[in-house]
Structure 1
Amino acid sequence: MTTKRRPHILVTGAAGALAQQVISRLRETCDLVAVDFREQVYLGDDIPSYCIDFNKRVFEDLFRRYQFDGVIHLGRILSSQLTRMRRYNANVLGTQKLLDLSQKYGIRRVIVLSTYHVYGAVAYNPALIDESAPLKSAGLSADLVDSVELENLANIYLWRYPELNITILRPCNIVGPGVRNSMSSLLGSSRAPVLAGFSPMMQFIHIDDMADAIVLAWNKPVKGVFNVAPQDWVAYQQALKLCGCQRIPLPSIPPVVPKAISRILNLRSFPTYLMAFFKYPVVIDGRAFAREFGFTPKRQLTDIFRYYQDNKRPV
């Protein structure tokens, strides 16, 4: 009797906490290969791990060697990391190479992690933004162009190669233990900047829930683009208060002033390219994903904020 072959999955962004959570959930049922172009991480003797640039020829060797059935692409480089050109090469050209190889080697399932930032933060955003809304970020900030281009690229492959079964996920702010993005840094700090006169509504999803969402998406090959967010939200300044942060108001007008202050003080967790997101609400509608994949976040906002309240970093 022959044993059934377990799914072979390539997981990118393996150095990140989210990828490691996804790997821990899938390792019992799948054969995984972990890749990150920033660093090599040890995930156990049963999971081969590589530090490889997607644009190098050796990356294709992995597809030949392991004969992947699926790809979970979580290796998007945040806008706060690397220079703009290196980030573009990693996010856009690297993703294009990944999708080309997926098509060439007959991959049957691809998950691509995007971000709600692609919608852009503007004063006239609708109260709930669904997946059909235009992606305005490219016209608002050069630092977010690669996020929109990565998505546009994935969308092209989604329609051109339906056999890849591509699902694009646009989560709200991912936070929680191990997360190293701007929002997590703000919630975890003792003092956090705010724009005077502004406190936009925001959504937060715990890293554990986001990992659950990715696994649900992997297990049900439904093509398309989906927001991933809970059906509750909270004002930014209230979130800081509940996390035990002292709020430091910055003048919000003219727009060059908060950007200059952020640059002078080197506030990495309050980057200039995200300034509009601390001014205008970007509340996304996650109901389509919840319906299609049976997703309900388990961690409440109180759980998220309690973690940051109990784990303050020294200033």
Structure 2
Amino acid sequence: MPASKRPQILVTGAAGTLAQEVIGQLRESCDIVAVDFREQVWLGDDIPSYCIDFNKRVFEDLFRRFHFDGVIHLGRIMSSQETRLRRYNANVLGTQKLLDLSHKYGVSRVIILSTYHVYGAVPFNPALIDEEAPLKAAGLTMDLVDSVELENLANIYLWRYPDLNIAILRPCNIVGPGVRNAMSTLLSGERAPVLAGFSPMMQFIHIDDMADAIVLTWHGEKRGIYNVAPHDWVAYQRALELCGCSQLPIPSIPPVLPRTVLRLLNLRRFPPYLMDFFKYPVIIDGRSFAEDFGFSPKRSLDDIFHYYRENKHPV
């Protein structure tokens, strides 16, 4: 009796640490094709890897050649990267192209990585934000418009094409070895800025747990929008203390002053919109994802902070 065909999966954002961890977990049971528009990465002789812009015609050739069963879209550009126009072209137009091709070529599972930042940081946020909460970020800053539009676009396809079985994941702060976002940069430094008078509660998820969550989503059958977060949280200043960071208090006004100090700390990739996330808590409710996919983080906050305490400037 012939062996059953292994699923063929397209993973975008292959140059990122998260994508590579996901690929590492799936490569034994699936045939992976890796894509990144920034650079081509070598992931082993068994994994074809390409550097392709989603908006180029050659991208469709991959769908013709490999007949993908699933797409795991981890290639969202963060607001600390690239210009606003380039982010829009990649995050919105590129994702639309990806979803159109997925529908055209009969892909049966699509996973899209979003971010909890789409909720926006405002003083009137509820204590726990569930998936039904409005996405306020676009009204607060232009730097998150493309992230919100990406989500709105994915939501349209979620309901228009149920055969795609789209799952949209909104994780909290992803941190850990190899992560190069703004939060990881702060926790890995010897000193970190804090806004005077503010220490909002924050959530952190280890990159290994986030990779586990994505793999669980691939194996699961549920579709929809899901927050991904542990059930605990900690005050920002306490997190810095546990990571061994000395604190540099700065006034929250005028707005230009915090940004100037951040530049002095060589945090040039620190997006200005994050200042509000260091004022107001944005705590997301991850219970729906935990229940629907059987997810429970294996790495505690102590594990996360121990890593940063023992590995200063790890990225």
TM-score of the two chains, using structure 1 as the length reference: 0.97
One-letter code of the match for 1:254?
P
Alignment length, in residue pairs? 315
Greater Cα offset, 191-200 or 111-120 = 191-200
- CA deviations over 1:41-90 (Å, ceiling 9, x no partner): 00000000000000000000000000000000000011100111111111
The whole-number CA distance in structure 2 between the counterparts of 1:195 and 1:224 is 36
Aligned to 1:58: 58
Greater Cα offset, 39-48 or 249-258 = 249-258
Aligned to 1:26: 26
The 8 Å contact of residues 7 and 69 in structure 1, kept in 2 or not, is answered as yes
* Offset, 1:258: 2.0
Determine helix, strand or coil for the equivalent of 2:241.
helix
The 8 Å contact of residues 194 and 247 in structure 1, kept in 2 or not, is answered as yes
Aligned to 1:6: 6
Aligned to 1:245: 245
Aligned to 2:197: 197
* Offset, 1:221: 2.0
The 8 Å contact of residues 202 and 283 in structure 1, kept in 2 or not, is answered as yes
Aligned to 1:74: 74
One-letter code of the match for 1:177?
P
The 8 Å contact of residues 79 and 271 in structure 2, kept in 1 or not, is answered as no
Computed over aligned residues only, the root mean square deviation of the Cα atoms, in angstroms, reads 1.4
One-letter code of the match for 2:234?
V
The whole-number CA distance in structure 2 between the counterparts of 1:37 and 1:202 is 31
Aligned to 1:139: 139
Determine helix, strand or coil for the equivalent of 1:272.
coil
- CA deviations over 1:74-123 (Å, ceiling 9, x no partner): 00011100111111111111000000000000100000000000000000
The 8 Å contact of residues 166 and 224 in structure 2, kept in 1 or not, is answered as yes
Unaligned runs of 5+ in 2: none
The 8 Å contact of residues 216 and 293 in structure 1, kept in 2 or not, is answered as yes
The whole-number CA distance in structure 2 between the counterparts of 1:272 and 1:8 is 39
The whole-number CA distance in structure 2 between the counterparts of 1:311 and 1:155 is 39
The 8 Å contact of residues 120 and 140 in structure 2, kept in 1 or not, is answered as yes
Unaligned runs of 5+ in 1: none
The 8 Å contact of residues 201 and 283 in structure 1, kept in 2 or not, is answered as yes
Determine helix, strand or coil for the equivalent of 1:9.
strand
Greater Cα offset, 2-11 or 266-275 = 266-275
Aligned to 2:301: 301
Aligned to 1:257: 257
Aligned to 2:95: 95
- CA deviations over 1:198-230 (Å, ceiling 9, x no partner): 011000000000000000000012110000000
* 1:137/1:269 CA distance change after superposition, 3 Å: same
- CA deviations over 1:175-195 (Å, ceiling 9, x no partner): 000111000000001111111
Determine helix, strand or coil for the equivalent of 2:185.
helix
Matched, 1:181 2:181: yes
* Offset, 1:256: 4.0
* Offset, 1:262: 3.5
* Offset, 1:266: 5.2
The whole-number CA distance in structure 2 between the counterparts of 1:211 and 1:313 is 22
Aligned to 1:117: 117
TM-score of the two chains, using structure 2 as the length reference: 0.97
The 8 Å contact of residues 111 and 169 in structure 1, kept in 2 or not, is answered as yes
Determine helix, strand or coil for the equivalent of 2:282.
coil
The 8 Å contact of residues 209 and 299 in structure 2, kept in 1 or not, is answered as yes
The 8 Å contact of residues 175 and 183 in structure 1, kept in 2 or not, is answered as yes
The whole-number CA distance in structure 1 between the counterparts of 2:145 and 2:242 is 33
The whole-number CA distance in structure 1 between the counterparts of 2:118 and 2:100 is 23
- CA deviations over 1:126-149 (Å, ceiling 9, x no partner): 000000000000010100111101
Aligned to 2:310: 310
Aligned to 1:16: 16
- CA deviations over 1:259-293 (Å, ceiling 9, x no partner): 34435665335431211001000000000000000
The whole-number CA distance in structure 2 between the counterparts of 1:24 and 1:118 is 29
Matched, 1:40 2:40: yes
Aligned to 1:49: 49
- CA deviations over 1:211-258 (Å, ceiling 9, x no partner): 000000000121100000000000111101100011111111233432
Residue correspondence of structure 1 range 269-288 to structure 2 within 5 A: 270-288=270-288
Residue correspondence of structure 1 range 145-160 to structure 2 within 5 A: 145-160=145-160
Determine helix, strand or coil for the equivalent of 2:71.
strand
* Offset, 1:2: 2.1
The whole-number CA distance in structure 2 between the counterparts of 1:269 and 1:289 is 31
The 8 Å contact of residues 186 and 269 in structure 1, kept in 2 or not, is answered as no
